[in-house]
Amino acid sequence: MEYRCEDGRTVPIEIRRRKATRRLKLTLGLENQILASAPWHSSDREVIRFIEKQGHWLEEQLAKAPPAIALGDWLEQTPTLSASGDQFAVRIERNWAGRSEYRFTGGGSVVVLRPRKGTESSLRDLLRSFAKDALTCRVAYQARRLDLQYGSLSVRDQSSRWGSCSTRRGISLNWRLVLLAPELQDYVILHELAHLTEMNHSPRFWTLLEAYDPQRRQHEKELEALSSQLMRVGRGGIR
């Protein structure tokens, strides 16, 4: 099922029916597809009519939305990765015949990514492995510096969050954090570490976070400006 834009593009439509949904609602997904939340018994025809009535709004949203972009394309345009509080240049060797690996070269200033198959999916898997190693070390460093104890650490492919902290003191981080500047990566890590003490967003939480990161307000603004674009990295575009 697709929606045809005024410029001739076609945009996929995903209908999500839930029993608790009372009315039709449209949003854009991270692949810039149309997500239609619909009541359980609504028909496809009803949903399509609703989408057509919202055509002007949809055209505006699609025009404003950053494009979904393959990870390989992003790294060609922005060839940097962050780890250990520093930023490294990136080189991809797609014709590598051995096992997927990354290594540092250039005196430690360049990360060479060698995805085994040279495909987008193998590159994404390799970068997630790099992110797991890099973020594990960085969280451990920041926790030790602040004399904090956390439980487990997972690095995942969240669709909208940069990180989260559970009541069991488990921290979960988005692998795309390695695409951020080091200070923004640290801001997210410090945000989640602050939740080990304050499991909320109360005034006490923000006071604590500002003690951890005195520039937290500026970092928040910078991260908010980048999030919509970066959350689309490593995803397919409009088909």
Q: What is the DSSP letter of 68?
A: P
State which H helix or E strand residue 11 sits in. Answer: strand 10-18
| Model pTM score | 0.81
The CATH number for 71-230, chosen from 3.30.2010.10, 1.20.1050.10, 3.40.30.10, 2.60.40.10, is 3.30.2010.10
What are the CB-based long-range contacts (under 8 Å, 24+) for 7-10? 9/238, 10/238, 10/239
| pLDDT at 65 exceeding the cut of 90 | no
In this prediction, residues 11-38 reach a mean pLDDT of: 85
- CA-to-CA distance for 23 and 155, rounded, in angstroms? 35
Q: Compute the CA torsion angle 34, 39, 43, 46 (nearest 10 deg).
A: -60
Query: For a pLDDT cut of 90, what percent of the chain falls above it?
Result: 65
pLDDT at position 8 is 79
Q: Where in the chain is the domain with CATH 3.30.2010.10?
A: 71-230
**DSSP bridge partners of 69:** 233
Average pLDDT, the chain: 92
Q: How far is 147 from 31, CA to CA, in rounded Å?
A: 40
| pLDDT at residue 20, rounded to an integer | 84
Q: How far is CA 111 from CA 85, 143, 147, 172, 173, in A?
A: 15, 25, 30, 24, 21
The predicted-structure confidence for 27-49, as pLDDT tens digits, reads as follows: 888 777 888 898 988 898 898 88
pLDDT above 50: residue 25: yes
**Residue 236: per-residue pLDDT:** 57
Edge-first strand order for the sheet with 101-105 is: 80-83, 86-92, 110-114, 101-105
H or E segment to which residue 13 belongs: strand 10-18
Partner residues linked to 164 by β-bridges: 172
Rounded Cα distance between 152 and 172, Å, is 8
Residue 79 reports pLDDT greater than 90 = yes
Q: Each residue of 178-235: pLDDT tens digit?
A: 999 999 999 999 999 999 999 999 999 999 999 999 999 999 999 999 998 999 999 8
What does the pLDDT look like over 123-152, one tens digit per residue?
999 999 999 999 999 999 999 999 999 999
